[in-house]
A = this chain, B = another copy of it.
Amino acid sequence: MATENLDKQKTIDLRKKHVGPSCKVFFSHDPIKIVRARGQYMYNEKDEKYLDCINNVAHVGHCHPDVVEAGAKQMELLNTNSRFLHDNLVLYAQRLQATLPEKLSVCYFVNSGSEANDLALRLAWQYTGHKDIITLENAYHGHVSSLIDISPYKFQQMACAEPSQHVHVALSPDIYRGKYCEDHPDPAIAYAENVKDIIEQAHKKGRKIAAFIAESLQSCGGQVIPPVGYFQKVAQHVRNAGGIFIADEVQVGFGRVGTHFWGFQLQGEDFVPDIVTMGKPIGNGHPMSCVITTREVAESFMSSGMEYFNTFGGNPVSCAIGLAVLDVIEKEDLQGNALHIGGYLTRLLYDLKKRHLLVGDVRGRGLFIGLDLVRNRDKRTPATAEAQDVIYRSEQFKPPMCFSREDAELVVEKIDQILTDLEKTLGLQMSEALISENGHTKRKEPSDENGLVHPSIGSSHKNTGTLPHDKKTKKRLKT
């Protein structure tokens, strides 16, 4: 490891010289240099503390000692490929399977969410013999070329923003800002009908659907929580067309939604995807990931005659780390914590909405929460510039799962202050009438069901969400 400690400017200079300029840092005008982290806290080179509100990779907390120990011990003993038998591989596969419906029983271990989603496409193509993929507006599924193709969030950044011929973009099931909102009698069916229409259009052109892919809750795409029943209906349409359903759990899986271990389970027990892909939180930062599918899909993939070999995937170190992460989630009841602290944070944010015109919507599940900032509540005009420039995208919360009540209070206090300053600058002020009306929406107050608000939609940006502690807040955290 690096024994030198570079001056921050030297780090910046070397980065400019030797790291791809497409690889952005947070706060590019004054980037943060983090040198250590623990739990939900990160520290810069001056030992100043930051509260990490968005790192859904450091799932069980930065540098969790159990995870570090498991990794270090296995590194000392053996790290080789999966062409040899190893207990870690099979025990881990068994443990992961146990979190899922029984028919999702066959695992492929890979190194990243991107590798997982690309493999999911390969499985779908082989199993169905079809080529076309239906993806959602604003979706992001990874950085390899096949996934840029199915990620409007990415390909729309390009000059040529047209999707590839085999890619169809469906409406995002967004009931706050989408085509069918919470006042629609059945947005789940309405949004699923859009997928059905797409399939019919594709069939007219002689094209065939291999798969529908969606995050179980859209993350980069704006913290969108699909209405219950949507996935069931979509799966029905897609399967009728000979395609399969891929649930992308890369960002939202592993207990984050609080009530369930997987995001797709929010849709109800009658919904089972054909493929589930995992990623970010799975190894608490260790590069690993997994695809789980049915025996039928797996057998079909084998029948192509092509071996699947992934050099690093499923190595004993990755599996040891994956097992340790599952152990910690269980031992520390982090899913329960996500439910309770997530609910508490949501309620605090909902209180903010009562006092700040800029807050258009608060929505979330467990510790996956979005704060939707608007310029105009009636028109629901996104306050993109405000969110980006002032709060610097801190409108999305997906912190390490060990987040505490005090952390939640600190975050909300900070946001309250920022919103107050911002509204002063913008000349926005809430009238007495508005305060009593509490916004105009027909939506319910946050219910106590799961300690969370009812479904709705989200902000449209990734965020950094690291919150610098000033002295006052540092003191608070220490008490």
Residue positions of A touching B, CB distance < 8 A: 1-2, 4-6, 8, 11-12, 14-15, 17-26, 31-37, 42, 55, 57-58, 62-63, 65, 67-68, 70-94, 97, 105-109, 111-115, 118-119, 121-122, 125, 143-146, 148, 154, 157-159, 279-280, 284-288, 298-299, 301-302, 304-320, 323-324, 464
Contact = CB atoms under 8 A, between A and B. Distances in A.
Nearest to A308: B22
Contact of A12 (B20, B24, B85, B312): B85
A1 B146 contact: no
Contact of A2 (B159, B301, B320): B320
23 contacts: A1-B324, A2-B92, A11-B87, A14-B91, A15-B93, A19-B93, A19-B108, A23-B82, A23-B310, A24-B309, A25-B82, A26-B84, A57-B80, A68-B76, A71-B75, A79-B285, A112-B310, A114-B115, A115-B143, A119-B143, A158-B304, A286-B317, A287-B315
Contacts of A285: 79-80, 312, 315, 317
Contacts of A115: 111-112, 114-115, 143-144
A305 B97 CA distance: 40
B107 A18 contact: yes
A87 B5 contact: yes
Nearest to A279: B311
B93 A79 contact: no
A217 B464 CA distance: 43
Report how many copies the assembly holds. Answer: 2
Contact of A287 (B76, B84, B97, B318): B318
Contact of A145 (B92, B122, B143): B122
A259 to B, nearest CB: 25
Contacts of A74: 1
A97 B15 CA distance: 12
B308 A78 contact: no
Given A73-B1, A80-B37, A317-B285, A105 B312 contact: no
A111 B18 contact: no
- Please name the 9 residue pairs, one residue from A and one from B, whose CB atoms are nearest each other, closest first: A1-B320, A14-B90, A18-B93, A72-B72, A287-B312, A79-B285, A22-B308, A33-B85, A287-B287
Contacts of A302: 20-22
Given A306-B22, A307-B24, A88 B1 contact: yes
A86 B11 contact: yes
A394 to B, nearest CB: 14
A15 B309 contact: no
A308 B88 contact: no
A314 B285 CA distance: 11
A358 B246 CA distance: 50
Nearest to A63: B76
A83 B6 contact: no
Given A26-B83, A34-B80, 11 more contacts: A14-B91, A14-B94, A18-B105, A19-B90, A21-B301, A22-B302, A33-B84, A62-B78, A63-B77, A111-B112, A121-B145
A390 to B, nearest CB: 19
Task: Determine which residue in A22, A88, A105, A158 has the highest number of CB atoms from chain B within 10 A of its CB, and name it.
Answer: A22
Contacts of A119: 143-144
A320 B71 CA distance: 15
Nearest to A306: B157
